[in-house]
Structure 1
Amino acid sequence: MLPHWNMPREDNQVPLLSDQDVAYESGEKVHILGINEPDEEGSSVVPPFSWKKLWLFTGPGFLMSIAFLDPGNLEGDLQAGAIAGYSLLWLLMWATAMGLLVQLLSARLGVATGRHLAELCREEYPTWVSMVLWVMAELALIGADIQEVIGSAIAIKILSNGILPLWAGVVVTASDCFILLFLENYGVRKLEAFFAVLIATMAVSFAWMFGETKPTGTELLLGVLIPKLSSKTIKQAVGVVGCIIMPHNVFLHSALVQSREIDYSKKGRVQEALNYYSIESTVALIISFIINLFVMTVFAKAFYGTEIASSIGLVNAGQYLQEKYGGGLFPILYIWSIGLLAAGQSSTITGTYAGQFIMGGFLNLRMKKWLRALITRSCAIIPTIVVALVFDTSEAALDVLNEWLNVLQSIQIPFALLPLLCLVSKEQIMGTFKIGPALKIVAWLVAALVIVINGYLLLDFFSSEVTGVIFTTVVCAFTGAYLAFIVYLVYWGFTLSVRRHMLPAKLAQGME
């Protein structure tokens, strides 16, 4: 028997939900005012806009936006500013807009189906495909988590004046899963409030730096409005776009939006939720764009055109700022470190959150929250401690490691984007909330652009790093299998609607 939400539906129907495999139990969800009130004008009518309801729906988008502010993004921002000046601000803006489109599609999938992306991948794809997708998602999450934890550890090392080495900072950061579990016991809204404080800390810290360095307003405005790109800054441009879309964040947002109580029997209520989530996600990413802009312009003002511009990274960025701008009311080194710590802590906690949904969704696991969080956290913390012990004394080695981690995450992007676009386009899954032809074309163009840009990054990286016959042969074999799997995912997505349309008919024939 087909699951209820996958059965063919009339145009005025919305997906129906099963009682199993929910991201949030009914008691954990935020109650929306008026959710159980009868609709006098019919179930398809969207209720009028309410500021109070918008406030109740606000939260998931801000948790999602933290992936746009993690230490990897901050490093991309500072390197782009130092090497390219203000010239890539326009690209940061449009990359954020592309990221917003992807995240809105993820939210749409979660709201319209009541299922998150990992669960749907398990249900819609063959078992071997869903297992490969799970492994890829876990690898992407581990790569992102290592960068985020190392970023937090660097900030802790600076704030402790070097007393706590990098590995100790990693251990301190590892405790964030217990913070997550503690806050979850007090409800979703408390958890969201905690992340709001961390985002506000980043905003204040980097705005303070912006005020200290006093970037040129005219050049900033021209950088945002006028596209510029040169052969000297192409690598930084690719990095700006490549680090905006995080594979684990696509999975995460589709689950976060299920934290609100929605009446799925009424199309108007589902559309209402989509409207509010679209507004709050847009506001959240506008704020993240402004914070990223602060970082990029600070380093553009301070180091563009200098001899040290190409050597700046997370490890030495604060020290270089301190040498250039000195103390003041509060040393800029510590302002930078506080912002970096907030970015690292918030992103590692949301990474733990994403890991729970990814593992639970793909493997259909049912276990206690503390155990699931501990397993998810251990998957990333153990390799991170090893990395911290090995690379603690070498800034250059950390930079090389960061490049490899960026490559690891870039490789995984198609395995989150392609399933999302295929699933959100299908009426058999989305009902009347499937995306239309125009939005589908735009979404596929954005996905193709992101994949091509990351492909360029991978080609550039491997052409400089891959040497030797054996290593080259292994990389070529891996690349062939990688491309074949991408083609398979696209093929499966475009033929999914045909198979699912024919399956009920075959079942009916079998019953005759």
Structure 2
Amino acid sequence: MPPQDRRQPLLAEEQEETAYDSSEKVVVVGIDEQDGDVEAPPFSWRKLWLFTGPGFLMSIAFLDPGNLEGDLQSGAIAGYSLLWLLMWATAMGLIIQLLSARLGVATGRHLAELCREEYPAWARIVLWLMTEIALIGSDIQEVIGSAIAIRILSNGVVPLWAGVVITAFDCFIFLFLENYGVRKLEAFFAVLIAVMALSFAWMFGEAKPNGVDVLVGILVPKLSSRTIQQAVGVVGCIIMPHNVFLHSALVQSRQVDPSKKGRVQEALNYYSIESTIALAVSFMINIFVTTVFAKGFYGTEIANNIGLVNAGQYLQEKYGGGLFPILYIWGIGLLAAGQSSTITGTYAGQFIMGGFLNLRLKKWVRALITRSFAIIPTMIVALIFDTTEESLDVLNEWLNVLQSVQIPFALIPLLCLVSKEQIMGSFRIGPVLKIISWLVAALVIVINGYLLLEFFSSEVNGAVFATIVCVLTAAYVSFILYLISRAITYTPWQSLTRSKTVATTDN
């Protein structure tokens, strides 16, 4: 069958559901005269600029309110001692996100679409439900973070539930900007990241942490039994399940011909540079937040009581007014973090729902459905928990557990797919990267398993509840083992053996 005939079924599927229509994609081919069939064209600053965008949208998940709360608690309780772990956790997150980008560029399809084809119907539905639950849990944290920021900036006039309603309309901002093209949407997110960077850098300047202590904290590994819980939290909250799905779709906003090996390699090179820069920026912002709270509250009696709800007030009491009250600087940065992460959550929800279910819905309809999934439970949560800071802290602990539970359902399918030659072709990951990636995934899964064990050992009371948890845990572990078995049943060694068998038969 001629190559163009073999492509017809793929084209038909792409017409059913794609991350971006061809008219929406940014054109990067044609800047130089090389066709890029075999080798990647030489480096171009102009091309790097045109490829810049998806990595910064991806990096927002490293800066959401949940991560900021982890930063401030790490700083207040552990001081500067866990900055090195934050750096290496960000590096691990970069590895996973680069694999996600690799999958999207090399296949021309995103993770949710490929999962729809890779797994049987029952497993596909379970994966979709788990991913949606993770997205809803993440969105609740992000929307609540925005609502807290709105309450701070309104001097308490706007209650938490009203802040949730205001935040709910961010999907309309997203839909409005999307009509003006991908680059306008990316520019909007760049502004929000800049607002975060300026706000938290201002706080850093107000607090004046010791530069030597910060540098030692980054370069010298240090861990004690007293800070083990914060250390586990630092690593556990870095990788967000929905963000793994999101990045594989975002990279398809650039027009890259998957049939041209050189063009694919070129795109991967630029995305690697861009994602590294984006996560370096997110790392610096996380450093600002951690060190501000380390300088102000480490070793104090209130260190263990600081959370997202009361952090602004504690900052105000510690550092005072200044040229511009630090309470409002914190509120502005938190609002930018919450708004940017909720909008990217809406974006991720579109890709996840469309990819798993192959829904041919208009984007505004899909965005409203995705938003409703998150806003309705968030509104209920806001009305129930808008009473005390303690209740919101308990809620946040449960939501962190929810995120931890869902992580294997994103990592294992990703590593399974990027390892398969029949899916990735020559861009499948090699043995060294494969080992590193599985070790990173195993480390993250084990760490989050530790979080779950610690949490349930203190929270599970009563025989009935304990029985339910045990049954759910058995089902959960069984499904993870099933996903792992799918990853190892078809290996490159088997592919090589089959190729040799075919060659021998032909001869």
Q: Smaller-chain TM-score range?
A: over 0.9
User: Shift in Å at residue 4 of structure 1?
Assistant: 9.7
**Could you tell me whether the CA contact under 8 Å between 1:150 and 1:166 is conserved in 2?**
yes
Q: State yes or no: 1:145 paired with 2:102.
A: no
* CA distance in 2 between partners of 1:426 and 1:224 (Å): 37
TM-score w.r.t. structure 2 length?
A: 0.95
- The residue number in structure 1 matching 2:425 is 431
User: Shift in Å at residue 214 of structure 1?
Assistant: 0.3
* CA distance in 2 between partners of 1:427 and 1:365 (Å): 28
Pairs within 5 Å for 1:469-488: 469-488=463-482
1:35-85 CA-partner distances (Å, limit 9, x unpaired): 69553xx61011000000000000000000000000000000000000000
User: Shift in Å at residue 236 of structure 1?
Assistant: 0.5
- The residue number in structure 1 matching 2:19 is 23
Read off the aligned partner of 1:151 and give its amino acid letter.
G
* CA distance in 1 between partners of 2:91 and 2:497 (Å): 38
Q: State yes or no: 1:247 paired with 2:241.
A: yes
* CA distance in 1 between partners of 2:270 and 2:370 (Å): 31
Pairs within 5 Å for 1:9-408: 19-20=14-15, 21-34=17-30, 37=33, 39=35, 43-408=37-402
C-alpha spacing 1:213/1:38, structure 2 compared with 1 (3 Å): closer
* CA distance in 1 between partners of 2:467 and 2:172 (Å): 44
- The residue number in structure 2 matching 1:414 is 408
**Could you tell me whether the CA contact under 8 Å between 2:29 and 2:255 is conserved in 1?**
no
SS of 2:113's equivalent in the other structure is helix
* CA distance in 1 between partners of 2:214 and 2:12 (Å): 49
C-alpha spacing 1:244/1:4, structure 2 compared with 1 (3 Å): farther
User: Shift in Å at residue 496 of structure 1?
Assistant: 3.7
User: Shift in Å at residue 216 of structure 1?
Assistant: 0.8
Read off the aligned partner of 1:226 and give its amino acid letter.
V
SS of 2:26's equivalent in the other structure is coil
1:162-219 CA-partner distances (Å, limit 9, x unpaired): 1110000000000000000000000000000000000000000000000000001111
**Could you tell me whether the CA contact under 8 Å between 1:35 and 1:263 is conserved in 2?**
no
User: Shift in Å at residue 33 of structure 1?
Assistant: 4.4
* CA distance in 2 between partners of 1:502 and 1:132 (Å): 33
User: Shift in Å at residue 436 of structure 1?
Assistant: 0.3
Read off the aligned partner of 2:466 and give its amino acid letter.
T
Read off the aligned partner of 2:218 and give its amino acid letter.
V
**Could you tell me whether the CA contact under 8 Å between 1:198 and 1:346 is conserved in 2?**
yes
* CA distance in 1 between partners of 2:469 and 2:34 (Å): 60
Identical aligned pairs, as a percentage? 79
* CA distance in 1 between partners of 2:196 and 2:101 (Å): 25
Comparing 494-503 with 450-459, which one deviates more in the overlay?
494-503
1:372-395 CA-partner distances (Å, limit 9, x unpaired): 000000000000011111111110
Read off the aligned partner of 1:148 and give its amino acid letter.
E
Moved over 6 A (4+): 3-7, 498-504
SS of 2:310's equivalent in the other structure is helix
User: Shift in Å at residue 19 of structure 1?
Assistant: 3.4
Read off the aligned partner of 1:366 and give its amino acid letter.
R
- The residue number in structure 2 matching 1:509 is none
* CA distance in 2 between partners of 1:203 and 1:177 (Å): 23
1:69-126 CA-partner distances (Å, limit 9, x unpaired): 0000000000000000000000000000000000000000000000000000000111
**Could you tell me whether the CA contact under 8 Å between 2:149 and 2:335 is conserved in 1?**
yes
1:302-323 CA-partner distances (Å, limit 9, x unpaired): 0000000000000000000000
Read off the aligned partner of 1:397 and give its amino acid letter.
S
Read off the aligned partner of 1:292 and give its amino acid letter.
N
Read off the aligned partner of 2:354 and give its amino acid letter.
G
- The residue number in structure 1 matching 2:442 is 448
**Could you tell me whether the CA contact under 8 Å between 1:6 and 1:429 is conserved in 2?**
no
- Aligned CA RMSD, in angstroms, stands at 2.2
Structure 2: state its 5+ residue gaps: 500-507
* CA distance in 2 between partners of 1:443 and 1:4 (Å): 35
* CA distance in 1 between partners of 2:471 and 2:170 (Å): 39
- The residue number in structure 1 matching 2:505 is none
**Could you tell me whether the CA contact under 8 Å between 2:199 and 2:329 is conserved in 1?**
yes
* CA distance in 1 between partners of 2:242 and 2:258 (Å): 26
TM-score w.r.t. structure 1 length?
A: 0.94
* CA distance in 2 between partners of 1:295 and 1:5 (Å): 55
* CA distance in 2 between partners of 1:496 and 1:121 (Å): 16
* CA distance in 2 between partners of 1:233 and 1:310 (Å): 11
C-alpha spacing 1:146/1:203, structure 2 compared with 1 (3 Å): same
**Could you tell me whether the CA contact under 8 Å between 2:34 and 2:41 is conserved in 1?**
no
